[in-house]
Amino acid sequence: MNEKNRQKGRPKDPLKERAILQAARKLFLEKGLEVTTEEIARVAGVAKATLYANFADKDILIEAVLRQESDLTISDEDFSKRHNHSLTDTLTAFGNRFVRFINQRELTGWDRLIASAAIRHPDLPRRFYVAGPGRAQQMLESIIAEAVDEGVLISCNPREAADDLAGLWLGMTSLEIKLGARKTLSDEEIKHRVSHALGVFMRFYSVK
C-alpha cells in the first residue's frame, strides 16, 4: 500500500493545508514548477504523506495555489454575498480587490513562472487563466448580466462590458507597475482609480 492510499481516511488539518499552500506558492515563485513535493513538504514543516493526504498529486497542488491567488481578487464566499448590496457597492468592492491584486509586484514573478513553465507544460497558461483571472472575469460578467436582467444596466454583451470595466480599472498604469516604471498604487490611489473608472462605466452602461 503506498503513502497516498494509507492517508485516504485521515481528516485534513486546515493549518497544515494552509502551510503547504504557502510553501508551494513561495517555492513555485522562487524556483519554478520543477520544485519537488519533498521540498514543499520540508518547507511547510509536514511529512510528505501529509502533503499527499491534502493534495493527491502535484498538479492538484498547482491548481490549488492558483485558486488561492484568484481568491485574492474575489472569493466564492464574497461573490455569494453580492445580492445583499447595490450594484455600485458590489462593483466598488470587486474593483478594489481586483486592482489591489493586479497592483502586486509579485505578479511579474507569476508571469515569468508561467512563461518558462509553458515550454514543458503547454496547457499551464490556460489553466492559470481559468483558475485565476478567468474566474474573476466570469464573476464580473455574472454581476453585469444580473444587473442587465434587473434593468439596472442597458442591454449589452456582459463579456464586452466586463472587459470595458476591467480596462478602465487597469489602464496603462498596470503595465507601468509591472515593468517597474512606477511605484505600486497606494490605497488612496486604488480607491480613486476604482471610483473614477466605475463612474465612467456607469455613465455609459446605466439605464438613464
Q: What is the pTM of this model?
A: 0.71
Residue 65 CB contacts under 8 Å (≥ 6 apart), including other chains: 21, 24, 25, 28
Using CA atoms, how far apart are residues 117 and 134, in angstroms rounded to an integer? Answer: 19
pLDDT of residue 142: 92
Query: For 17, phi and psi rounded to 5 degrees?
Result: -60, -45
Counting other chains too, the contacts that 166-171 makes at CB distance below 8 Å and 24 or more residues apart are: 166/98, 166/137, 166/140, 168/197, 168/198, 168/200, 168/201, 169/95, 169/98, 169/99, 169/193, 169/194, 169/197, 170/99, 170/102
pLDDT of residue 105: 60
H or E segment at 50?
A: helix 48-54
pLDDT of residue 4: 46
**Tens place of pLDDT for every residue, the chain, 208 residues?**
344 444 445 557 889 999 999 999 999 888 888 899 999 999 999 999 999 999 998 888 988 887 787 676 666 666 666 777 899 999 998 899 888 877 776 666 777 777 777 777 788 778 777 766 788 888 899 999 999 999 999 999 999 999 999 999 999 988 888 777 888 899 999 999 999 999 999 999 999 7
pLDDT of residue 153: 97
H or E segment at 39?
A: helix 37-44
Using CA atoms, how far apart are residues 85 and 97, in angstroms rounded to an integer? Answer: 16
Residues 26 and 43 sit within 8 Å (Cβ to Cβ): yes
